[in-house]
Amino acid sequence: MLPEKQPIADFMIRLYRFWVLVSSLLVSAGWILSTVHALNRVGYMIFFLLGGISYVWHHPVRFEHSVLTGAKMVWHKLSRRFKRPAPAVFLVIFLFNLISVLVAPQLAGDSGAYRIPRVLHWLGAGGWHWIHTDDSRMNIAACNYEWLFTPLILFSRTDDWICVPNLVSYALLPGLIFLFLHEVKVPSRVAWWWTWILSCGWCFVLQATSSVNDGLGATFALAAVAFACRASRTKDFSDVVASLLAAGLFTGMKQTNLPLVLPWLIALWPCREWVGRYPLKTCITILFALLVSLAPLAYLNWQHTGTWSGFPHADAGSLAAFGSQHYVWGGQQELTSPFWGLLGNVFCMTAQNLLPLVFPWNESWNQTMQRFIHTPFGQHFTQFEVFGRLDHSITTGSAGIGAGIIALSALSFIWSRRSKQLFGTNAGSRTWSNCPPTLQLNLLHWAPWIALLVFMAKVGTYANARQAAPYYVLLFPTLLTMPGQISLTRCKPWQWLALGYLVVTLAYVLIFIHVRHFVPAAWGLRQIEQHPQSKWMAVYGDFFASEVCVKEQRDFLRDVDLSGEPVIGYSTACGGSEPGFWFPLGARRVERVLIDDTSEQLAQRGIRYVVVEDVALKPAQLTIDEWVEKHNGKLVKTFSFVTRLSSPRMGIYLVHLQP
């Protein structure tokens, strides 16, 4: 039975459209309110009021049906559906993610370096503006995710809830995966099993409670392609609207998602004729989609730097935050040689995706990789940010789709090849029906692979397996429409293997992710320091060290009386201390201080206190004493910290500038 003929599936499709619409309204609100310098509570309340009235005005009957009748139907049917083992595992993972967000919200970590600060700067100035900073990510990086959580910070006056968009998208991920697989003619039984398997991919599970936005981009990429396919079949203009808006959202989520425009265009191409019957609606939707896409930021980057990415004309200082001397593509390490980039990424992304749950030998591995790039052959890969680097375990910042899914995929591929050899091409239907696949369907199956090749040829960060999260699910139709997949999903051993992977993922999430959130980081770090030789304890150690570091950095100014200071300075390259200086929200503003700023310039900006970090001093080969003497200041407070147990201690200093 087709999904749209089922009442519960119809409700879910309306829900997906609603989430795309809400996300688009939040992103467009950020840009529109910035234009009129009204990025504040009043501006958002007016925007939400007008948006709500407009939605109810245009969807009075649908709104009542989808929310009231549909919700009641879902409540009764989901209780039965989640009694099956695979959906039950996903439900437990989601519930623990929800509890973690509500009870023990994560400290922002890397997002404290630029995601949260850039939002606080925008709120402080009443709108988006080009920030005076050395960390170019605060200006040139795509900002759709930031627009989604800006109201959460503004109204809650805390950054504890910035992961809510990720959690909501993760809850919708299984339905979107099934909708996509159904639309690209994957048999329903195969699609059902792989929906739950792919939903438990490690990059999706770990990002659900974090501020990393690759999994969120995957949700919108799936929605864009799925609704485009559905629109060509149902001729429903609402699906075209959802597809266009979702496409704008995933391009504006991260520049590395741009190659995925190719499969989306192929999916939308059959709609070109009948969509022309609604010229006004189509034009309005396209303009709205452009507003929530990468287009506004690309224009602003071009206006300020001369390029859409914001980097090739930047000076060396602005590249310091990325630790590289090469060009950066939209905030990501750009590879100058596509061939060596592609070859290097085949190795790096494979290693990152096959990384076991715990890998205590990562230091030895990374040292070997460092020696390799100094060999004649390894010199070709020096364009990568850090070639071949692996973490000590599966982490939010580096996790790919996961070794378990890759193993199941390899098994499915081998089974398909063997089935074809034994029974011919009719061993299990290749498509939803027995009809041969169309040219458009074949193109749609292979276009994501072409997009991935473009990604691999251009992007060379150390976390490419994580940044490729929006690509993974789109790659699977080529495998899942191969002969024999239906018979394979009926095999009990394969089902037990699939359930085993889901259970392992659940156990890892509980033991290594959620348990440590409820353990006081300082206490955990003391226990680990008592066992310095244990490589297994070090897996927890770096997490606790990072948690303690972020908390202590944020509390750096807590015991200093700065009540009379409306603005303070912050000199850093990529430090994460700044959010703590803004809260309580509205108490003061924080302005970035560059290493070359003079005392006169700081005085003109009203800055009398500056927080200085070692990461800002080292590129200029300055000590804190030399910086204090240069600005005729007085050292008020000093603190040192470590971000990882194996990292050297770094310093952070509060300096009072004398008149």
Q: What is the DSSP string of 496-557?
A: HHHHHHHHHHHHHIIIIIIHHHTS-HHHHHHHHHT-TT-HHHHHHHHHHHHHHHHHHHHTTT
Distance in angstroms (rounded) separating the CA atoms of residues 108 and 551: 10
Distance in angstroms (rounded) separating the CA atoms of residues 123 and 37: 10
Mean pLDDT by 10 residues, the chain (659 residues): 56 88 95 94 92 74 50 65 85 90 72 90 94 88 94 91 93 94 92 95 91 92 95 90 95 93 94 83 92 95 87 41 34 70 92 87 88 89 86 85 93 82 49 59 93 92 90 95 88 92 88 72 68 65 74 81 87 84 85 90 91 87 89 88 74 88
Write the DSSP assignment of 453-493 as a string of letters.
HHHHHHB--TTHHHHTHHHHHHHTHHHHTSTTHHHHHT-HH
| CA nearest to 469, candidates 242, 238, 170 | 170
Distance in angstroms (rounded) separating the CA atoms of residues 41 and 28: 16
Q: Report the SS3 class of residue 623.
A: coil
Whole-structure pTM value: 0.89
* Torsion, CA 553, CA 558, CA 559, CA 565, rounded to 10: 110
- Write down the pLDDT at residue 109: 61
Q: Could you identify the residue written with the tokens 């040192």?
A: 640
Q: Does domain 555-657 correspond to CATH entry 1.20.5?
A: no
Please state, in angstroms and as integers, the Cα–Cα distance from residue 73 to each residue in 65, 196, 411, following that order: 11, 22, 38
Please state, in angstroms and as integers, the Cα–Cα distance from residue 631 to each residue in 575, 611, 634, following that order: 21, 13, 9
CA 148-152-154 angle, 5° bins: 115
- CA-based Rg of the chain, rounded to a whole angstrom? 25
β-pair type (567-571, 589-592): parallel
Classify residue 310 by burial, with Cβ atoms within 10 Å: 0-12, 13-18, 19+: buried
Q: Report the SS3 class of residue 123.
A: helix
β-pair type (609-613, 650-657): antiparallel
**What are the structure tokens assigned to 212, written together?**
């990393």
Distance in angstroms (rounded) separating the CA atoms of residues 391 and 543: 12
- Write down the pLDDT at residue 102: 85
Distance in angstroms (rounded) separating the CA atoms of residues 96 and 171: 12
Phi-psi bin for 586: left (phi > 0), alpha (psi -120 to 50), beta? left
**What are the structure tokens assigned to 81, written together?**
């559906």
| CA nearest to 610, candidates 560, 535, 537, 540 | 560
- Write down the pLDDT at residue 333: 56
> Crossing angle for the helix pair 237-253 and 261-268, nearest 10 degrees?
170
| CA nearest to 120, candidates 606, 591, 551, 562 | 591
Q: Report the SS3 class of residue 459.
A: strand
Domain boundaries, the chain: 3-301, 555-657
Q: Are 220 and 176 in contact (CB under 8 A)?
A: no
- Write down the pLDDT at residue 557: 83
Q: Are 153 and 44 in contact (CB under 8 A)?
A: no
Q: Report the SS3 class of residue 391.
A: coil
Distance in angstroms (rounded) separating the CA atoms of residues 485 and 492: 13
Q: Are 634 and 612 in contact (CB under 8 A)?
A: no
